[in-house]
Structure 1
Amino acid sequence: MNINKLIRIFFLLIISSIEIGQSLVPVERHGHSAVLVDKKLYFFGGESVFGKLKNSIHLDQILYIDLSKPFNTANPPFEEVINAPMPFGSSYATAFLSPQKKNIIYLFGGIMWDVNANVDKFKSILYSYNVETNEWIPPATTGIAPEKRREINGVINNETGKFYAFSGLDTNAQNVVTTFNDMNILDINSLTWSKGSITNAPLPRVDYTATLLSNGIIVFIGGRETNNLVSVDINQLPLYDTKVDRWSTMTARGVTLENRNSHSAILTSDEKIIVFGGNKDDIATPVLNPLAVLNTKVVPYEWSVPTPAPPLPLTTNLHSATLVENYMFINFGQVHPKNDSLLQKPFFYILDVRNFTWVEKFEPEQLSQSPNGTTTVNTSSTNSPGLGVTTPDNGKQIGIIIGAVGISVGVIAVAGLLGYKYYKKQKYTRAIPTAGSPTI
């Protein structure tokens, strides 16, 4: 191997050892689904009016963000699962992580659209996605499977392995609307469907939020009645006790909030439900107090409205909200009144739930060392408190970075030395007279 090849190899090694990060700028979307898996936040599908990727407005794209690294909301590090799209365009569905298999995400309901033929031909109500193999399958279930529906918000009980989804609606090809007034329960352990009680259940609704408390009660907030699509009274809270299969209603005290739909909600570690965004009845006017807190540690539950310091985010609807450590991630969605330039913006807001401060930079928390040597923290997704998240050891990361820098410096030094020797050799060769060369 000559010295030219050696130099080229060394420079290729230098280039390959440098990782250049480039964030994906996603198209705008709303009505998508979001699930936190370990240190990654996944986004599935959504509806995109302006930034169509294919023939359908219903996206079959899977995005994710690596939450083990710091980033700024002005340039969030979105990545796409390449060459493994969803089998259909999905919007207005609900998704959750399996309590037993932490690599399986379930997607329930919503619009399932063939993005190539631009038709709705998928019949299954439930699909599973393996984040390791990127495989989508409609799992075989037993029991009373529900009909297709959308604009719902389900919850998963990580202790019992049971998933709960209430009401929803569906529209056929002739635009005939079907509404549902049922509580559907899926036992993830056996993949068996069953029906919960509807005695004293609220009127059928869509675009609400459902939050599971640690005592087994699901709190339903806001939404629209399916018969007239008018927002329900947000201060009248339907409660479903999963332990005894019983409905009740509680009148919340405190601040009287505006009714809303298409908002979001997360549960904090101290059992407070934080609500953000949404629309009024006409689905074109944002609410005046987009940020509200429901204290479920007092009876009756109590509403309050925190006043975070500006700059305040735009009030969005049909977005997703996920609790990551002590931060509420609010992603995508749309704003009203409709403004083309705003609707095409992929909104990204982060709220520090400890002091209700909007932050522009996410810094993964420095976690305490657990007895077995791994670092863990208890976090929650929108509806599932207690999801464990692991993060790499910072000391090891620093060591790896220093080692990589050292190797790169060493390679550069060797390459420089070889280059210098090559230059000296060429200079010496040019100085020796050859046959036929003129002499001086």
Structure 2
Amino acid sequence: MTDLRAAVEAVLPSVRADLERLVRIRSVSADPARADDVRASADAVAELARGAGAAEVDVVSVDGGAPGVIARWPAPAGAPTVLLYAHHDVQPTGPREQWSSDPFEATERDGRLYGRGVSDDKAGVAAHIAALRAFGGRPPVGVVLFVEGEEEIGSPTFTAFLETYRERLAADVIVVADSANWTPEVPALTTSLRGLADCVVTVRVLDHAVHSGVFGGPVVDALTALCRLLATLHDDKGDVAVAGLVTSEAADVDYPESRYRAEAGVLDGVQLAGTGSLADRLWARPAVSVLAIDAPPVADAANILLHEARAKVSLRLAATQDPQAALDALAAHLREHAEFGVQVEVGDGTVGGGCALPTSGPVVEAAEAALSEAFGVPSVRAGMGGSIPFIAEFEETFPDATVLVTGAGDPDCRAHGLDESLHLEMFAKNCLAEALLLQRLAPAQAPGA
């Protein structure tokens, strides 16, 4: 292992430089105007794969999809093949002026590297490249590198992509580097992810807006009716009140309330909602959120009764929940709980399945041993409140493969938010852990390991 540790340390400076170059590419997949940047990002990843010794490298896509990269390192005789997944597209920045530094120019402050995508998920790309470089481009197992270009918009063509490139993506082990560690000092293997269902609900009470003084009183305006409807989504304790949703079992790990409040930035005096352990509420139970409401801004308010109002409602689901059934339950709740006979329309939404990942077996043991060795402390098993629906598609397409979910995020990385960042010391350990995993998955460990 000593030689491998030294090899990883030797490549880290070049890997960081390449990560910074990737951050400069504004690969915002949600913005059609950035299509050329998304393509440039894919080309840059392909160049990194070639430089890391790949025998085959292609930038590929399917109709209507963003460009991704597939690269291959052939398996030595008797060795398994490992698929290394990450994505090169990123979220929009939000208000650029609210960032502490240019989001597309990686900037180091206090041991963290700041920039859009530096953690989610260009760090995943960089970690894969680091492990491959550490082996001099000749890893002890077969490797397929798959770097997607549309994860941040829900992977809309992922199913077609898997169907088209199934043979090229086939592997014995799949490593999805798009999650987070328990802390910068303590590594984690993600063992469950929640599913997702969302919809847009529209409430109508009038055929046009009317004067609030002349007509106000006998009829409730649409925004008030919508707010009263949204308030029915939780009970008095803050638990989700939508009938038909299920719960699953959370990972057995202690998550103190004080830590959660600090990491989430909960204001003093604000009480936490719901019942049960924090792990249950975060990973094993449904959570409902109102993501947006269409309403006039206060600065433009007029003395009228709004005739129509709408909101986007999001459900995070237990790993075992059927997402379409959950969406149907949410739509039924919204239709049945509207007051005063107002008209309610629930628009079709997005659904994505959660997943419960393996917690035993030789591949899991190898992953946990690699993480523990790289970080110098035992790894933990943790759920993830977010959703990566395509993992379920990986499992369905490659039922004999073991799926592992790792990542270079941490509780303070602010993925998707302002001042997204990467803990550099932790990232170095993640790179070592991945190299150690590839070594441990080989039929026999290399001499000196």
Same fold (TM over 0.5): no
TM-score, scaled to structure 1: 0.24
Please report the TM-score for the alignment, with normalisation by the length of structure 2: 0.23
- Structure in which a larger fraction of residues adopt strand: 1
More helix by share: 2
